[in-house]
Protein backbone atom coordinates (compact mmCIF):
# COMPACT_ATOMS: atom_id res chain seq x y z
CA UNK A 1 0.00 0.00 0.00
CA UNK A 2 1.37 3.48 -0.89
CA UNK A 3 2.53 5.56 2.07
CA UNK A 4 -0.10 8.18 1.23
CA UNK A 5 -2.92 5.73 1.86
CA UNK A 6 -1.45 4.72 5.21
CA UNK A 7 -1.31 8.39 6.16
CA UNK A 8 -4.91 8.80 5.03
CA UNK A 9 -5.96 5.94 7.29
CA UNK A 10 -4.14 7.61 10.19
CA UNK A 11 -5.42 11.16 9.74
CA UNK A 12 -8.84 10.57 8.17
CA UNK A 13 -10.64 13.76 7.12
CA UNK A 14 -7.69 15.90 8.27
CA UNK A 15 -5.76 14.79 5.18
CA UNK A 16 -6.91 14.70 1.56
CA UNK A 17 -4.92 12.45 -0.80
CA UNK A 18 -4.88 13.15 -4.54
CA UNK A 19 -3.14 10.71 -6.89
CA UNK A 20 -2.08 12.10 -10.27
CA UNK A 21 -1.00 9.73 -13.06
CA UNK A 22 2.26 11.08 -14.48
CA UNK A 23 3.63 8.27 -16.65
CA UNK A 24 2.91 7.42 -20.26
CA UNK A 25 1.26 4.07 -19.54
CA UNK A 26 -2.23 5.55 -19.86
CA UNK A 27 -4.50 6.88 -17.15
CA UNK A 28 -7.07 4.08 -17.34
CA UNK A 29 -4.40 1.36 -17.13
CA UNK A 30 -2.75 3.06 -14.16
CA UNK A 31 -6.04 3.27 -12.27
CA UNK A 32 -6.90 -0.29 -13.27
CA UNK A 33 -3.59 -1.41 -11.73
CA UNK A 34 -4.44 0.56 -8.60
CA UNK A 35 -7.80 -1.22 -8.49
CA UNK A 36 -6.09 -4.60 -8.75
CA UNK A 37 -3.73 -3.79 -5.88
CA UNK A 38 -6.54 -2.44 -3.69
CA UNK A 39 -5.30 1.17 -3.74
CA UNK A 40 -8.64 2.66 -4.78
CA UNK A 41 -10.73 3.90 -1.89
CA UNK A 42 -13.71 6.23 -1.64
CA UNK A 43 -11.72 8.86 0.28
CA UNK A 44 -9.02 9.67 -2.27
CA UNK A 45 -9.17 11.63 -5.52
CA UNK A 46 -7.55 10.40 -8.73
CA UNK A 47 -6.65 12.83 -11.49
CA UNK A 48 -5.10 12.73 -14.96
CA UNK A 49 -4.50 16.49 -14.88
CA UNK A 50 -0.95 17.86 -14.80
CA UNK A 51 -1.11 19.73 -11.50
CA UNK A 52 2.44 21.13 -11.29
CA UNK A 53 6.05 19.96 -11.24
CA UNK A 54 7.37 18.62 -7.94
CA UNK A 55 10.96 19.15 -9.06
CA UNK A 56 11.67 15.44 -8.74
CA UNK A 57 12.93 13.49 -11.77
CA UNK A 58 11.85 10.13 -10.39
CA UNK A 59 8.74 8.43 -9.05
CA UNK A 60 7.05 8.38 -6.67
CA UNK A 61 7.09 12.12 -6.01
CA UNK A 62 4.73 14.29 -4.02
CA UNK A 63 3.66 17.79 -3.11
CA UNK A 64 2.28 18.58 0.34
CA UNK A 65 -0.18 21.49 0.49
CA UNK A 66 -1.57 23.28 3.52
CA UNK A 67 -5.24 24.09 4.13
CA UNK A 68 -5.00 27.22 1.94
CA UNK A 69 -3.39 25.36 -0.96
CA UNK A 70 0.17 26.60 -0.43
CA UNK A 71 2.99 24.14 -1.16
CA UNK A 72 4.72 23.25 2.10
CA UNK A 73 7.04 20.50 0.86
CA UNK A 74 7.67 18.72 -2.44
CA UNK A 75 10.06 16.25 -4.02
CA UNK A 76 10.77 12.55 -3.81
CA UNK A 77 8.45 10.76 -1.37
CA UNK A 78 11.13 8.11 -0.87
CA UNK A 79 13.76 10.63 0.21
CA UNK A 80 11.49 12.94 2.20
CA UNK A 81 9.06 10.46 3.76
CA UNK A 82 10.04 11.26 7.36
CA UNK A 83 9.98 15.01 6.82
CA UNK A 84 6.63 14.75 5.05
CA UNK A 85 5.11 12.86 7.99
CA UNK A 86 6.49 15.45 10.45
CA UNK A 87 5.00 18.31 8.41
CA UNK A 88 1.59 16.61 8.21
CA UNK A 89 1.55 16.10 11.97
CA UNK A 90 2.56 19.72 12.54
CA UNK A 91 -0.14 21.07 10.22
CA UNK A 92 -2.88 18.87 11.66
CA UNK A 93 -2.03 19.94 15.20
CA UNK A 94 -1.81 23.56 14.09
CA UNK A 95 -5.28 23.37 12.56
CA UNK A 96 -6.67 22.08 15.83
CA UNK A 97 -4.83 24.32 18.28
CA UNK A 98 -3.41 27.14 16.19
CA UNK A 99 0.26 27.80 15.40
CA UNK A 100 2.90 26.92 17.98
CA UNK A 101 3.44 29.41 20.83
CA UNK A 102 -0.03 30.80 20.24
CA UNK A 103 -1.50 32.84 23.14
CA UNK A 104 -4.27 30.81 24.79
CA UNK A 105 -6.91 33.43 24.03
CA UNK A 106 -6.08 33.27 20.32
CA UNK A 107 -5.88 29.46 20.35
CA UNK A 108 -9.58 29.42 21.28
CA UNK A 109 -10.32 31.24 18.02
CA UNK A 110 -8.61 28.49 16.00
CA UNK A 111 -10.42 25.85 18.01
CA UNK A 112 -13.74 27.38 16.94
CA UNK A 113 -12.58 27.66 13.33
CA UNK A 114 -11.49 24.02 13.30
CA UNK A 115 -15.05 23.04 14.25
CA UNK A 116 -16.37 24.92 11.22
CA UNK A 117 -17.56 27.96 13.15
CA UNK A 118 -16.22 30.70 10.90
CA UNK A 119 -18.62 33.33 12.24
CA UNK A 120 -18.10 32.44 15.90
CA UNK A 121 -14.34 32.44 15.37
CA UNK A 122 -14.51 35.89 13.77
CA UNK A 123 -16.69 37.25 16.59
CA UNK A 124 -14.23 35.93 19.18
CA UNK A 125 -11.34 37.44 17.26
CA UNK A 126 -12.98 40.88 17.01
CA UNK A 127 -13.73 40.84 20.75
CA UNK A 128 -10.14 39.93 21.57
CA UNK A 129 -8.87 42.60 19.20
CA UNK A 130 -10.97 45.20 21.04
CA UNK A 131 -9.81 43.98 24.46
CA UNK A 132 -6.48 42.17 24.14
CA UNK A 133 -5.64 42.49 27.83
CA UNK A 134 -2.58 44.01 29.42
CA UNK A 135 -0.24 41.00 29.14
CA UNK A 136 1.71 40.51 25.89
CA UNK A 137 -0.66 42.95 24.20
CA UNK A 138 1.35 43.34 21.00
CA UNK A 139 1.74 39.58 20.58
CA UNK A 140 -1.97 38.99 21.16
CA UNK A 141 -2.97 41.73 18.72
CA UNK A 142 -0.59 40.45 16.04
CA UNK A 143 -1.79 36.85 16.48
CA UNK A 144 -5.41 38.00 16.43
CA UNK A 145 -4.92 39.89 13.16
CA UNK A 146 -3.37 36.76 11.66
CA UNK A 147 -6.30 34.70 12.95
CA UNK A 148 -8.81 37.03 11.30
CA UNK A 149 -6.97 36.80 7.98
CA UNK A 150 -6.86 33.01 8.31
CA UNK A 151 -10.60 32.81 9.01
CA UNK A 152 -11.41 34.61 5.76
CA UNK A 153 -8.75 32.69 3.83
CA UNK A 154 -10.09 29.39 5.14
CA UNK A 155 -13.64 30.22 4.03
CA UNK A 156 -12.45 31.28 0.58
CA UNK A 157 -10.38 28.12 0.31
CA UNK A 158 -13.36 25.92 1.21
CA UNK A 159 -15.57 27.66 -1.35
CA UNK A 160 -12.86 27.27 -3.99
CA UNK A 161 -12.69 23.58 -3.14
CA UNK A 162 -16.46 23.30 -3.61
CA UNK A 163 -16.15 24.96 -7.02
CA UNK A 164 -13.46 22.47 -8.05
CA UNK A 165 -15.60 19.54 -6.91
CA UNK A 166 -18.59 20.85 -8.85
CA UNK A 167 -16.57 21.47 -12.02
CA UNK A 168 -14.94 18.04 -11.86
CA UNK A 169 -18.02 15.88 -11.41
CA UNK A 170 -18.49 15.71 -7.64
CA UNK A 171 -21.66 17.82 -7.18
CA UNK A 172 -22.93 15.89 -4.16
CA UNK A 173 -19.71 16.45 -2.20
CA UNK A 174 -19.62 20.06 -3.33
CA UNK A 175 -23.18 20.80 -2.21
CA UNK A 176 -22.63 19.07 1.13
CA UNK A 177 -19.48 21.11 1.70
CA UNK A 178 -21.21 24.43 0.99
CA UNK A 179 -24.29 23.47 3.04
CA UNK A 180 -22.07 22.73 6.03
CA UNK A 181 -20.26 26.03 5.56
CA UNK A 182 -23.60 27.85 5.68
CA UNK A 183 -24.23 26.49 9.18
CA UNK A 184 -20.95 27.95 10.40
CA UNK A 185 -21.43 31.49 9.01
CA UNK A 186 -25.06 32.17 9.99
CA UNK A 187 -24.04 34.82 12.55
CA UNK A 188 -22.18 36.92 9.97
CA UNK A 189 -24.15 38.63 7.20
CA UNK A 190 -21.23 39.09 4.77
CA UNK A 191 -20.05 35.51 5.11
CA UNK A 192 -23.61 34.24 4.80
CA UNK A 193 -24.13 36.18 1.57
CA UNK A 194 -20.90 34.75 0.13
CA UNK A 195 -21.82 31.15 0.99
CA UNK A 196 -25.42 31.55 -0.19
CA UNK A 197 -24.11 32.81 -3.54
CA UNK A 198 -22.08 29.63 -3.82
CA UNK A 199 -25.05 27.49 -2.78
CA UNK A 200 -27.15 29.11 -5.52
CA UNK A 201 -24.96 27.35 -8.09
CA UNK A 202 -26.72 24.11 -7.19
CA UNK A 203 -30.13 25.33 -8.29
CA UNK A 204 -31.71 24.45 -11.61
CA UNK A 205 -32.57 21.34 -13.62
CA UNK A 206 -29.06 20.85 -15.00
CA UNK A 207 -27.45 20.52 -11.58
CA UNK A 208 -30.38 18.42 -10.34
CA UNK A 209 -29.69 15.99 -13.16
CA UNK A 210 -25.99 15.90 -12.28
CA UNK A 211 -26.79 15.22 -8.63
CA UNK A 212 -29.01 12.29 -9.64
CA UNK A 213 -26.34 10.96 -12.00
CA UNK A 214 -23.70 11.36 -9.29
CA UNK A 215 -25.79 9.17 -6.99
CA UNK A 216 -25.94 6.44 -9.65
CA UNK A 217 -22.22 6.79 -10.34
CA UNK A 218 -21.34 6.50 -6.64
CA UNK A 219 -23.22 3.20 -6.42
CA UNK A 220 -21.38 1.80 -9.43
CA UNK A 221 -18.05 3.12 -8.17
CA UNK A 222 -18.57 1.54 -4.75
CA UNK A 223 -19.37 -1.78 -6.38
CA UNK A 224 -16.31 -1.53 -8.60
CA UNK A 225 -14.01 -0.73 -5.68
CA UNK A 226 -15.51 -3.40 -3.43
CA UNK A 227 -15.58 -6.26 -5.95
CA UNK A 228 -12.39 -5.33 -7.85
CA UNK A 229 -14.17 -6.84 -10.86
CA UNK A 230 -14.93 -4.42 -13.65
CA UNK A 231 -16.91 -6.86 -15.76
CA UNK A 232 -19.94 -6.50 -13.48
CA UNK A 233 -20.29 -2.73 -13.95
CA UNK A 234 -18.39 -1.87 -17.14
CA UNK A 235 -21.45 -1.64 -19.41
CA UNK A 236 -23.45 0.34 -16.84
CA UNK A 237 -20.61 2.82 -16.41
CA UNK A 238 -20.32 3.26 -20.17
CA UNK A 239 -24.06 3.86 -20.46
CA UNK A 240 -23.94 6.44 -17.69
CA UNK A 241 -20.99 8.12 -19.40
CA UNK A 242 -22.94 8.36 -22.66
CA UNK A 243 -26.00 9.79 -20.91
CA UNK A 244 -23.85 12.48 -19.27
CA UNK A 245 -21.35 13.13 -22.04
CA UNK A 246 -21.99 16.88 -21.83
CA UNK A 247 -21.22 17.28 -18.12
CA UNK A 248 -18.40 16.41 -15.68
CA UNK A 249 -20.21 13.29 -14.42
CA UNK A 250 -19.77 11.84 -17.88
CA UNK A 251 -15.99 12.29 -17.71
CA UNK A 252 -15.80 10.51 -14.36
CA UNK A 253 -18.02 7.69 -15.60
CA UNK A 254 -15.94 7.36 -18.79
CA UNK A 255 -12.73 7.08 -16.78
CA UNK A 256 -14.25 4.47 -14.46
CA UNK A 257 -15.59 2.59 -17.49
CA UNK A 258 -12.03 2.52 -18.76
CA UNK A 259 -10.82 1.30 -15.39
CA UNK A 260 -13.48 -1.43 -15.38
CA UNK A 261 -12.58 -2.62 -18.88
CA UNK A 262 -8.83 -2.07 -18.54
CA UNK A 263 -8.63 0.21 -21.57
CA UNK A 264 -9.59 3.68 -22.69
CA UNK A 265 -13.14 4.01 -24.00
CA UNK A 266 -14.86 6.40 -26.37
CA UNK A 267 -18.20 7.90 -25.47
CA UNK A 268 -20.94 8.93 -27.87
CA UNK A 269 -23.04 11.71 -26.42
CA UNK A 270 -26.83 11.62 -26.46
- 83 and 103 share one domain: no
| 170-181 tens-digit pLDDT | 999 999 999 999
Which whole-number Å values give the CA distances from 175 to 10, 115, 202, in the listed order?
Answer: 26, 18, 7
Whether 108 contacts 124, CB under 8 Å: yes
pLDDT of 261 higher than 60:
yes
41 and 125, same domain (yes or no): no
Residue 165 sits in which domain range?
98-202
The C-alpha angle 4, 176, 120, rounded to 5 degrees, equals 95
The reported pLDDT for the residue numbered 270 is 46
What's the rounded mean pLDDT across residues 125-147?
A: 91
Q: Is residue 267 part of a domain?
A: no
pLDDT at 37: 66
Question: Could you tell me which residue, 80 or 192, shows the higher pLDDT?
Answer: 192
Element (H, E) at 46: strand 45-47
- Of 32, 57, 90, the residue that ends a domain is 90
Last residue of a domain, one of 90, 120, 151: 90
- Do 71 and 65 form a contact (C-beta atoms < 8 A)? yes
Whether 268 is in a domain gets the answer no
Interatomic CA distance for residues 229 and 226, integer angstroms: 8
Instruction: Please answer whether residues 242 and 269 qualify as being in contact, where contact means their C-beta atoms are separated by less than 8 angstroms.
Output: yes
Provide the CA 254 distance to its chain's centre, in angstroms: 22
Question: Is 85 domain-assigned?
Answer: yes
Does 229 share its domain with 178? no
Q: Do 197 and 123 belong together in one domain?
A: yes
User: Where is the domain boundary, 90, 112, 137?
Assistant: 90
Same domain, yes or no: 183 and 237: no
Q: What is the pLDDT of residues 38-52, one digit of tens each?
A: 666 656 776 666 666
Q: Residues with Cβ < 8 Å from 218, sequence gap 6 or more?
A: 172
Please report the pLDDT score of residue 30 as a whole number: 63
Residues 6+ apart with CB under 8 A from 126: 148
Q: Identify whether residues 46 and 127 lie together within a single domain.
A: no
More confident call, 35 vs 15: 15
Could you tell me if 107 and 177 lie in one domain? yes
Please tell me whether residues 235 and 192 are part of one structural domain: no
Q: Which residues pair with 61 in a beta bridge?
A: 76
| Residue at 29 is within a domain | yes
Average pLDDT over residues 14-24: 71
Q: Do 197 and 103 belong together in one domain?
A: yes
The most confident of 22-31, 74-83, 233-242, by mean pLDDT: 233-242
Helices (H) and strands (E) in the chain, counts: 11, 4
- Answer yes or no: do 214 and 195 share one domain: no
User: Does any domain span residue 215?
Assistant: yes
Residues 123 and 152 in one domain: yes
The pTM (predicted TM-score) of the whole model is 0.76
Residue 251 phi, psi (nearest 5): -65, -45
Most confident of 8-22, 171-185, 217-231: 171-185
Count of domains forming the chain = 3
Q: Does residue 158 fall inside a structural domain?
A: yes
Name the least confident of 46-60, 84-98, 104-118, 190-204: 46-60
Question: Which residue, among 195, 170, 160, has the nearest Cα to 181 in the 3D structure?
Answer: 195
269 occurs within a structural domain:
no
Q: Do 10 and 80 lie in a common domain?
A: yes
Residue 104 lies in a domain: yes
Confidence of residue 158 (pLDDT cuts 50, 70, 90): very high
Amino acid sequence: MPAALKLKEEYGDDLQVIFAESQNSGYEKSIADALKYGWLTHDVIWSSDYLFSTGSKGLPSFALLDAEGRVVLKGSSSDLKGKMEDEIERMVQELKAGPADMPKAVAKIYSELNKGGHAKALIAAEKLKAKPGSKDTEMVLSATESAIANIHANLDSQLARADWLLQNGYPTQAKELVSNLLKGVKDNADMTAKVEASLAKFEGEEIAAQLAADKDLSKLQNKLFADKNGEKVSDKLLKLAEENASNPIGKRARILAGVASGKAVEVRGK
